Structure 1
Amino acid sequence: MLDSKYLLTDEQMMHFITKGYLVLHNDLPQQLHQNIMNQIYHILHEEGNPGNNILPRVPDIQQLFDTPVVKGALTSVLGSDYYMHPHRHCHFNQPGNLTPGGGKWHKDGYWSSMRSHRPWWAMIFYYTHDITEELGPTTIMPGTHYYEKFIDNRGESLLPTGKAGTMVLVHFDLWHKASLNVSDLDRYMLKFQFLRLSAPELPSWNHQSKEMIVPNGMPAIHMNLWQDVWDWLRGEQHMTKQDGVTSNEERLLVLRQELESEDATLRELAADELGRFGAVAGSCAPKLGLLLNDPVETTALNAAYALGHLGKQGIEVLIYQIKEGSSLVAERAAYGLQGAGIEAIPELLKVMKHEDEKRRALAVFVIGMIGYSGGEAVPSLISCLQDESEWVRRNAVEALGIIRNAGEQAVQSLANVLEDSLLCETNDASESKNMDISNQHYITNKIGYTAALSLLRTGKTGDVKQVVRSLEKSMYSNDRYVRAYAAEAITHLRTEEAVDILIRHYRTSRWCSDTSKASTF
């Protein structure tokens, strides 16, 4: 059992929520890191990059993820039942192999159809050797994980460094890039991804104070957004403040005026402060609604989350924008409605019948993120599994997997969807019907991939025998990630039938990490 002293503190959690990263240091012996680096060097030069097979090819790497420091950090951010994703990669940065300035700023391709501000996913960068700025560590831009657009010189870049074994835990959506290796040594970095299997019910770190302690050095202030993530991680549903932080009418008047300022920073801060007032600032909702289309994304985000905290008047504006606003405005409204919580559910259920597939898909996404299983929420999501839009269906599959206590019917429906998706598979990725909702061509069965993940999260609550049968069929999918999730889900179920399936599977698929083109036997 993990010693609680290795869990993160409130300050570290707020650092992750606001800045999107934490640097972790292990006490493992230098020889282990050297051995791992030597193996990787040999593999890269003799066999090429093993990609997803880097872990079975170099099993010693697992020792790093089994340390209390790493397990404590991942447990704190993703819950005790977090899962190591089957996708991982070895980044090999040779001296001078980039143009001056390094690679391009980017976010990694997301595995879902819409990124979540709440930490359902995270990554770890591991350096096998002492890493200095000269060696070209991966550059990150703290505080940018909530932004769709790169904020350029408004943010400050950071090159995390440290001794061999340094690991950087990052929010999946943090902007980052490769940096130029100006040394005369090779640089190795291993990237592993992890995901949360269940929404938090209680804090999973060493939680002491309900109040957020925001660190300095942020590119922008997003108190309502951060509060939403903080409360969600503590297992608390958002409740609109009826009295607000104050009923100072004079201050409200000033903030209303600043919403129209030509100064983007004033608009941004005014929107954020109004959200802290709660329902008493409801009269500001129409002006905040206009800011959802603000050319400055940080301002628009603050407007969205502020509206989500203004109660009925804020929800009305957000619902209007998710139905009638531009594609970009509708997405921003979706984040605000997520922050509004269960009060937004009745209107979202109506949006799920919208004629436009994107609006329906966004409503489904929000209901999933809110995580409410009462009323018509779950039956409506199950109905969406038959929607003509694959985007809507995929979002419904994901939502049913992340809503706690969705019920046996939901699990049965997910198992049926998984089996149906296998019948539609093609051996040619270019023919995949999923291309309209994902630019990740290597995922050829997006619906099946999401259904297998949802069953990994929920399979134990349904007809386990049916779930196992569906997962067994999926272990022969054309999509490698469907196969990986299916195997992991069966492992989680651990029934007698599941164990037999796994034994048969691993007898034929077991990887020998010592075998290579250079080996003799």
Structure 2
Amino acid sequence: MNVPSRDDPILLSDEQVRQYIVNGYIILKPSVPADIHQTVCRKLTACLNEGSNPGNNVLPKVPEMRHVLNSPEVQGALISVLGEDYIEHPHRHCHYLSPTTTTKTDAKVREDAVAANCHQDAYTPLGRPRQHYSRYARVMYYPQNTPIALGPTHVIPGTQFNQGITDADRARAIPVDGEAGTVSLTHFDVGHAAGLNTVNQPRHMVKFIYVRATEPVTPSWSCLNRQWKKPQDVQALHDLNLTWSHVWDWMCGKKDRYHSFRKKNSLSASEVSRLIEDLHEVREVDARLQIIHQIAASGAKAAGSIPYLIKILNTDHQALRLAAIYALGIIGQPAVEPLIASLRESGICKEDDSVPKPWNEGAILMDDTAFALTAVGSSAVEALISALDDTSEWTRINAAFALGELDSLATNAVPRLIKCLNDKSHRFVRTVLDALGSICQNVSPFVMDISQFLLKKEPSWEEVLHSRRWTAQDQIRINAAMALARLGQDAAMAEDILIQALDDPCGHVGAFAMDALRRLDSTSSKQAIMSYLAAQRWDESIQEGRLY
């Protein structure tokens, strides 16, 4: 087998990053010898012929896939969308697609099959919030030639910001077909579906998940122009230029996340009032989007539109909700108090539920007001800190989520978030741990407060919450380990606890603990990792009839 050399990562271009932001995916062609893909395909087939899917263990079962994941193209793309210090998530899965037993395989049958399969992935092992920023990415790899007849994965461009998949979305799914070795890199939340396999052979697609570790401070791709512009190939259904440009500015590390969208000449108050009237009268989605974008261009001068924009949140068309979120964000400080009031009201509505309905142990749908408060930026921090004391669990969860999405802008919230770790709600504590991992700055004095959750046992968190038999206690340990990994060398005080966590009964915890130890880069942390991995080593040459 030809083993490729380790070349420098090939970073994405501005155009490729624009496509990723707008469409939610890009296609990569790793420079990996063909015989590696053949070996991978053969081994995957053998695994599945044994009668079970190896799940998260698919990479150690078929370690040749590391050559694809470590290729300059894949590494460079991951660095480009997640930053140089991205984390490899322990969840992996081989999606095996058997030949269909359907006798009719015409175009309509294929389309119907894809539409029925369309979905947004759940997070694992338990739920996490869907996110607008580029924090989670998915690699999907074909080890065999995958023409349309073999049932390639289909993507629904532009749905990565959606809180669900509609019938209109399902009708737009397009195949990501390609030769052996084709890799698609997608935003984790983009809608997708398996195709229909009409060929007499199995189709393998192996999925890997990657996570951003730190907030962007500068473009991590081959950036030649920091000013946003739409890509040449726009496949999204609606013009979400305000959202796209905001995400671009965030990925560029700009202090002003509306730098690319702001206009020099804003509208007068009377012109804004006229647009608000038009927003009431016009019903067509794209026309209303254009109106919201025009309102947003005036920034704080469009404060009169705040009540009307808030009414769009959580209820209207998804594209309009997105536009309203970021229009409120660019209006800024005047929107904070009304948004907090709306968030508190939303919390009251959820208070009768023992578990808030948007909280799903597959993926959590945060309130639009939380995204809008994040979009406002640093002006919303103090109000969000106050909302952490709300009597409603749902309001507190959303406030913690929004603070985490603000990254280091929410540094002042860290002491209050640490106190929130004493809460008995596992949902709130999980969200707070994630927020601390995202904020990072000023968290190091509280490392032991976070690491205690790798050891702590709370009886009320032992309830099984998913068919895969994971508990809230498991997910809390995972979130704590992830937060410590994101802290890098600032987590040094937790080294001994992280070494213990390598043997955690939940494999996700051990994986993130190992990543945290790797980032500590101390002699003792490296020795612990090597000792652990040496014991885990698998002898590929052992087979039936030859045990040693």
In the superposition, relative to structure 1, how do residues 347 and 445 fare at CA in structure 2: closer, same or farther (>3 Å)? same
The equivalent of 2:395 in structure 1 is 359
Q: Would you say the 8 A contact 1:419–1:473 is kept in 2?
A: no
Is it true that 1:501 corresponds to 2:505 in the alignment? no
Greater alpha carbon shift after TM alignment, 108-117 vs 355-364: 108-117
Q: 1:380 aligns with which of 395, 411, 416?
A: 416
Q: Would you say the 8 A contact 1:323–1:330 is kept in 2?
A: no
Describe how 1:50-449 pairs up with structure 2 within 5 A: 50-96=54-100, 101-102=113-114, 104-111=117-124, 112-154=127-169, 156-215=172-231, 216-238=234-256, 245-249=265-269, 251-261=271-281, 263-265=283-285, 266-325=287-346, 331-372=367-408, 376-420=412-456, 423-424=457-458, 432-433=462-463, 435=465, 441-442=469-470, 445-449=474-478
**Partners of 1:469 and 1:11 in 2: how far apart?**
45
Greater alpha carbon shift after TM alignment, 65-74 vs 296-305: 296-305
Greater alpha carbon shift after TM alignment, 159-168 vs 510-519: 510-519
Per-residue Cα deviation, 1:145-194 (whole angstroms, up to 9, x for no partner): 11012132256211011211000001000111111111222211111111
The equivalent of 1:467 in structure 2 is 494
The equivalent of 2:19 in structure 1 is 15
**Partners of 1:392 and 1:488 in 2: how far apart?**
25
Q: Kindly state the Cα deviation for residue 324 of structure 1 after the two structures are TM-superposed.
A: 1.0
Aligned length: 510
**Partners of 1:62 and 1:251 in 2: how far apart?**
57
**Partners of 2:541 and 2:431 in 1: how far apart?**
41
Amino acid at match of 2:117: K
In the superposition, relative to structure 1, how do residues 330 and 500 fare at CA in structure 2: closer, same or farther (>3 Å)? closer
**Partners of 1:331 and 1:514 in 2: how far apart?**
53
**Partners of 1:188 and 1:330 in 2: how far apart?**
33
- Secondary structure in 2 aligned to 1:199? coil
Q: Would you say the 8 A contact 1:381–1:400 is kept in 2?
A: yes
**Partners of 1:139 and 1:508 in 2: how far apart?**
40
**Partners of 1:406 and 1:439 in 2: how far apart?**
38
Amino acid at match of 1:491: R
Amino acid at match of 2:340: I
Amino acid at match of 2:504: S
Q: Kindly state the Cα deviation for residue 335 of structure 1 after the two structures are TM-superposed.
A: 0.7
- Secondary structure in 2 aligned to 1:445? helix
In the superposition, relative to structure 1, how do residues 492 and 153 fare at CA in structure 2: closer, same or farther (>3 Å)? same
The equivalent of 1:38 in structure 2 is 42
Q: Would you say the 8 A contact 2:68–2:74 is kept in 1?
A: yes
**Partners of 1:89 and 1:330 in 2: how far apart?**
27
**Partners of 1:249 and 1:257 in 2: how far apart?**
13
Describe how 1:476-491 pairs up with structure 2 within 5 A: 476-491=503-518
Q: Kindly state the Cα deviation for residue 220 of structure 1 after the two structures are TM-superposed.
A: 1.5
Greater alpha carbon shift after TM alignment, 131-140 vs 27-36: 27-36
In the superposition, relative to structure 1, how do residues 237 and 433 fare at CA in structure 2: closer, same or farther (>3 Å)? farther
Is it true that 1:452 corresponds to 2:481 in the alignment? yes
Greater alpha carbon shift after TM alignment, 41-50 vs 173-182: 41-50
Q: Would you say the 8 A contact 2:263–2:297 is kept in 1?
A: no
Q: Would you say the 8 A contact 1:142–1:174 is kept in 2?
A: yes
Q: Kindly state the Cα deviation for residue 489 of structure 1 after the two structures are TM-superposed.
A: 1.7
Greater alpha carbon shift after TM alignment, 92-101 vs 352-361: 92-101
The equivalent of 1:512 in structure 2 is 539
In the superposition, relative to structure 1, how do residues 497 and 217 fare at CA in structure 2: closer, same or farther (>3 Å)? closer
Q: Would you say the 8 A contact 2:246–2:257 is kept in 1?
A: no
Q: Would you say the 8 A contact 1:9–1:207 is kept in 2?
A: yes
Per-residue Cα deviation, 1:244-265 (whole angstroms, up to 9, x for no partner): 6422456423421122135141
Per-residue Cα deviation, 1:414-473 (whole angstroms, up to 9, x for no partner): 1123221xx3489xxxx73473xx7864466111100001111114114x2x41111122
Amino acid at match of 1:51: G
In the superposition, relative to structure 1, how do residues 481 and 285 fare at CA in structure 2: closer, same or farther (>3 Å)? same
**Partners of 2:52 and 2:419 in 1: how far apart?**
47
Name the TM-score, length of structure 2 as normaliser. Answer: 0.87
- Secondary structure in 1 aligned to 2:161? coil
In the superposition, relative to structure 1, how do residues 134 and 251 fare at CA in structure 2: closer, same or farther (>3 Å)? farther
Greater alpha carbon shift after TM alignment, 258-267 vs 278-287: 258-267
Per-residue Cα deviation, 1:262-313 (whole angstroms, up to 9, x for no partner): 5141333322332232111111111111111433222122112211110222
Name the TM-score, length of structure 1 as normaliser. Answer: 0.91
Amino acid at match of 2:516: A
- Secondary structure in 1 aligned to 2:255? coil
Greater alpha carbon shift after TM alignment, 217-226 vs 370-379: 370-379
Per-residue Cα deviation, 1:43-84 (whole angstroms, up to 9, x for no partner): 221353211111111111111111111111111001111122
Q: What is the root-mean-square deviation of aligned Cα atoms in Å?
A: 2.6
- Secondary structure in 1 aligned to 2:73? helix
Q: Would you say the 8 A contact 1:400–1:410 is kept in 2?
A: no
**Partners of 2:158 and 2:271 in 1: how far apart?**
28
Q: Percent identity?
A: 29
- Runs of at least 5 residues in structure 1 that lack an aligned partner in the other structure: none
Greater alpha carbon shift after TM alignment, 396-405 vs 237-246: 237-246
**Partners of 2:252 and 2:467 in 1: how far apart?**
34
Amino acid at match of 2:187: H
Q: Would you say the 8 A contact 1:224–1:302 is kept in 2?
A: yes
Q: Kindly state the Cα deviation for residue 411 of structure 1 after the two structures are TM-superposed.
A: 1.8
- Secondary structure in 1 aligned to 2:298? helix
Greater alpha carbon shift after TM alignment, 283-292 vs 485-494: 485-494
- Runs of at least 5 residues in structure 2 that lack an aligned partner in the other structure: 1-5, 103-108, 351-357, 359-364
In the superposition, relative to structure 1, how do residues 504 and 306 fare at CA in structure 2: closer, same or farther (>3 Å)? same
Amino acid at match of 2:154: T
In the superposition, relative to structure 1, how do residues 373 and 305 fare at CA in structure 2: closer, same or farther (>3 Å)? closer
